[in-house]
A = this chain, B = another copy of it.
Amino acid sequence: MCVPVGATATVAAAIAPHLAHGAVVSDVGSVKQAVLSALSTALPAHAHIVPAHPVAGTEKSGPDAGFASLFAGRWCILTPPADADPDAVARLRALWEALGARVDVMDARHHDLVLAVTSHVPHLIAYTIVGTASDLETVTKSEVIAYSAGGFRDFTRIAASDPTMWRDVFLNNGEAVLEILQRFSEDLTALQRAIRWKDGQALYDLFSRTRDIRRSIIDAAQDTAAPDFGREHR
């Protein structure tokens, strides 16, 4: 099932009567507890439910947004229920590995927390700052666009993602997103204070620490899929 998370229950109810005995049902949604719950409710007991989340993609949506190396080297997270059939999980793992992905298995609840950090909150922040910029009275929209190369444009790419998909992510992973947002807000407030009081050392220390994470991501080859490769060479 490749649908916005909010459509899971409806689609599952529609396909439920037509599933072969022992069919493996999976999805590609960005939230997993809500999907697991919706599928468990709607599908017959003879179906094997193995939710999945390939952590890959661009700001574009739909079949035309695919390309051959989309999943190469990327991680796909499976979140089977505790009593899942091992064979069904193995079959789904084989499918994703055949597409070039690396496969990890974790609890749906932990998945939702990890993705709140690495995907959901970054998207929310990007949407927010792009909205803030477009609402300013003192800076024109054409100025924002012209000078976006200073960093802003990276946020606009994320903030161009599909509105329905992302609305559903936040409606279905609110708890984890709000927890991470609270921490982010505390950390941002500390930096605001450092700027106000001209505490250069506090700024320098954070700015140095964050570089290490970037290096680790490059080392882990999570920023070097073929069509994306040029970015490191700008």
Q: Which residues of A are interface residues toward B (Cβ below 8 A)?
A: 6, 30, 55-59, 67, 74-75, 77, 104, 113-115, 117-136, 138-139, 141, 143-161, 163-164, 166-168, 170-171, 174, 177-178, 180-181, 183-185, 187-188, 191-192, 194-196, 198, 200, 203-204, 206-211, 213-217, 220, 222-223, 225, 227-231, 233-234
Complex contact A146–B178 (CB within 8 A) = no
Complex contact B191–A127 (CB within 8 A) = yes
Complex contact B183–A185 (CB within 8 A) = no
Contacting residues, chain B, for A59 (C-beta < 8 A): 214
Contacting residues, chain B, for A117 (C-beta < 8 A): 132-133, 136, 139, 144, 152
Contacts known (A122-B154, A146-B75, A195-B174); A163 close to B233, Cβ less than 8 A: no
Contacting residues, chain B, for A124 (C-beta < 8 A): 188, 191, 195
Least CB distance, A109 to chain B, in whole angstroms: 10
Contacting residues, chain B, for A151 (C-beta < 8 A): 118-120, 122-123, 126, 158
Q: Label chain A's interface by main secondary structure.
A: helix
Tell me the bound Cα distance from A162 to B147 in angstroms: 20
Tell me the bound Cα distance from A207 to B126 in angstroms: 10
Complex contact B171–A198 (CB within 8 A) = yes
Complex contact B132–A118 (CB within 8 A) = no
Complex contact B213–A133 (CB within 8 A) = yes
> Which of chain B's residues has its CB closest to A219's CB?
B145
Complex contact A114–B216 (CB within 8 A) = no
